[in-house]
Amino acid sequence: MMQNYSQLVEKISRASGLAVDEIERKVEAKCAKLSGLISKEGSAQIVASELGISFEKEKMKVSELIQGMKRVNMVGQIVEVGTIREYNKNGRAGKVANLRVADESGSLRVVLWDTNHIGLFESGKLKTGDSVEISNGLMRNDELHLSGFSDIKVSNEVIENVNTEQKISNKKLVDLKSGDNAKVRVVITQIYEPKFFEVCPECGKKAIENSCAEHGVIVPRKKALVGVVVDDGTENMRGVLFSDQIKLLGINDEEIENSEFFLHKKEALIGKEALLTVNARTNKLFNNTELIINNIEEINLDELIQNLKN
């Protein structure tokens, strides 16, 4: 969020010809006048408007997009096209499609609701690898949504050094929905004993009785998963770590089978605070949201203190 604010201030500075510190003083004054009722970014937008600066027609970078932005314009390269699905909800039938679009700063999911836009992909007029210009989109849940009032078309602009790294926002557990990719700052409150299963060494899919549905009879490879419970003060939630991510806890493949070592490590980890990169999904068995944990980072106290000061 602070990165977006800094980028916004720099844009206002370039457009107005005023120094960055002068723009920041105007933003602080606006925040004080409004008694902290809006964010620094919101105050910066008001300052820009008062200076006669509009960003409505400006093309944004993926890294600059934040929740709630309207009339978003951008240029990116299609790096992935998902399945087109039909739906029938509350008496309304239609189609929805999603794709991933990237530029030099990162990538994000784009959701198409208009049949004309979807038809461009069904007919092959738009495909993976094409550069596209998007206009009048809406940022919602870290996704760019395109309605019938939006537009997507081929662009001749060449994007150098396409960055497919996904845009991930910081969220609270209580705000997570199935399908969300996010970073959450949590405390580990419980770690369960590891469970073991066998997978095909070729494709990594689950093996049953030394057999893989795709590769037939195999010599399976043993894998582990560990369940955890985390809490951030707004909610507590169950998460799952698979073999590669378990190593982020400081436990390697040999150590995880040593129950005494695992218990010692468990006692040391419970109560620790960490920054997790997660994918939220619905557990159909229990009909609740759980986390697939993709990365674990230690909390950088210096960075945290600086962000709180800002």
**Domains, the chain, ordered by start:** 2-50 (no CATH), 59-167 (2.40.50.140), 170-309 (2.40.50.140)
Instruction: Please provide the distance, in angstroms rounded to a whole number, between the alpha carbons at the two ends of the chain.
Output: 11
pLDDT of res. 124: 93
Residue ranges of the chain with pLDDT lower than 50?
1-3
Q: What is the pLDDT of residue 36?
A: 65
Backbone conformation region of residue 266, classed left if phi is above 0, alpha if psi is from -120 to 50, else beta:
alpha
Give the CA dihedral 290, 293, 297, 302, nearest 10 degrees.
Answer: -30
Kindly tell me the sign of the dihedral angle through the C-alpha atoms of 119, 122, 124, 129. Answer: positive
Q: Which long-range contacts (CB under 8 A, 24 or more apart) does 219-225 make?
A: 222/196, 222/197, 222/198, 223/196, 223/197, 223/198, 223/199, 224/194, 224/195, 224/196, 224/197, 224/253, 224/256, 225/194, 225/195, 225/197
What's the pLDDT score for residue 2?
46
User: Does the reported pTM lie above 0.75?
Assistant: no
- The owner of tokens 């910066």 is 44
Query: What pLDDT, on a 0 to 100 scale, did the predictor assign at position 1?
Result: 43
For position 164, what pLDDT does the model report? 83
Q: Tell me, what's the pLDDT at 293?
A: 92
